Amino acid sequence: MNRTERLYALVDELRAVAPRPRTVGWLAARFAVSRRTVQRDLQALMEAGVPVRAQPGQGGGWFVDRDHALPPINLTAAEALAVAAALAGAEDGTPFSAAGPAAMRKLAAALGSSTAEEVRALTERIHVLPARTAPDVLATVEQAVARQRVVWIRYADSSGRESEREVEPGGLLAASGSWYLLGWCRSRRAGRGFRLDRIRAAELRDEPSPARTVPALDRDLAERVRRAETLRSLSGA
């Protein structure tokens, strides 16, 4: 492990146990270096603006404020391209995609120069058609799911026939390139899936929605759906 890798690893170690401190002796043993080397590394991190601090006294040591220190982003070009393509495809048509451009700007700022250049070159060859889901509809559905509120929708079926529904949201489903609002339809008294691009209008009600699980809405669907691998690290699954 070279010094740069060790500096990153030091921050990661301190963040992992924050707000508890680690002693210099413990860190020296952990990274198989001298106490003096650890002291120099910690001083270098402080001078670089990383919020590492020393806590004196018995039970003290070095610690880092987790709220002010993000781990380094060391993505390969392929990983960065995967994120860029996913965010581009999600832009303004996928639930919770509004923060995507800001996330991509932060990612681009953290990439190494050669990786960033490779990503920029590919992005010139990626194009996206405008979304068919109205932005206000998408925002309302997002709030209904996130806040667990009943939502009124005007929905068009595959033949274009429209109907009005009150839905108790259970979640969101991605299938065959489309996104669906899963929920309990009060009109049909059953679990239903509503394609987001067929929702013509939506209004959030003040009424809290009962908790709805996929098995309670559709047992057959529950046996077929899976948790997306990209979400496992966020959900703790």
Query: Using CA atoms in the order 173, 211, 139, 156, what is the torsion angle rounded to 10 degrees?
Result: 60
**Model confidence pLDDT, tens digit, residues 173-214:** 998 888 999 999 999 999 999 999 999 999 999 999 999 999
pLDDT interval class at 66 (50, 70, 90): low
C-alpha–C-alpha distance, residues 30 and 61, integer Å: 14
**Model confidence pLDDT, tens digit, residues 80-98:** 888 888 888 787 778 888 8
Q: Flag whether the pTM goes above 0.75.
A: no
Helices (DSSP H) in the chain: which residue ranges?
A: 3-17, 24-31, 35-47, 77-90, 100-110, 113-123, 135-147, 214-217, 219-224, 229-235
**Model confidence pLDDT, tens digit, residues 23-47:** 999 999 999 999 999 999 998 888 8
Contact between 66 and 15 (Cβ < 8 Å): yes
